[in-house]
Amino acid sequence: MSKIGIDIEKAKQILQQGGLVAIPTETVYGLAANGLDKNAVLKIFEAKNRPHFDPLIIHTNSIDKIKQWVTDFPQWAKQLADVFWPGPLTLLLPKKNIVPDLVTSGLPQVAVRIPNHKLTLQLLESLDFPLAAPSANPFGYISPTTAAHVTAQLQNKVDYILDGGTCDVGIESTIVGFENNSVTVYRLGGLAIEDIEQVVGKVNVQLNQSSNPTAPGMLKSHYAPTKPLFIGNVVDFIKNNSLKKIGIISFCKDYNAEKSYSKILSPTKDLKEAAHNLFAAIRELDASDVDLIVAEKFPDTFLGRAINDRLQRASAK
Contact between 145 and 166 under an 8 Å Cβ cutoff? The reply is: yes
The answer to whether residues 247 and 182 belong to one domain is: no
Task: Name the band, by pLDDT with cuts 50, 70 and 90, for residue 308.
Answer: very high
Question: Mean of the per-residue pLDDT values for the chain?
Answer: 94
Residues in CB range of 258: below 8 A, 6 or more apart:
none
The CATH number that applies at residue 149 is: 3.90.870.10
User: Which among 144, 171, 205 is the end of a domain?
Assistant: 205
- Note whether residue 220 is domain-resident: no
* Domain match, 200 and 299 both: no
Could you give the number of structural domains in the chain?
Answer: 2
248 backbone dihedrals φ, ψ, rounded to 5°? -115, 130
pLDDT for 209: 58
Which residue range forms the structural domain that includes residue 282?
A: 229-315
The dihedral built from the CA positions of residue 94, 98, 101 and 105, taken in this order, carries a sign that is: negative
Q: How confident is the model at residue 77 (pLDDT cuts 50, 70, 90)?
A: very high
CA distances 259 to 24, 246, 264, 315, Å, are 36, 7, 16, 21
Exposed/middle/buried for residue 255 (C-beta within 10 Å: 0-12, 13-18, 19+): middle
241 and 307 both lie in a single domain: yes
Rank 51-55, 116-120, 222-226, 236-240 by mean pLDDT and report only the highest: 116-120
- Residue from 171, 164, 57 nearest 118 by CA: 164
In a domain, 238, yes or no: yes
**Separation of alpha carbons 67 and 114, rounded Å:** 13
User: DSSP label at 159?
Assistant: S
* Consecutive H or E run containing 143: none
Rounded to whole angstroms, the Cα distance separating 135 from 313 reads: 15
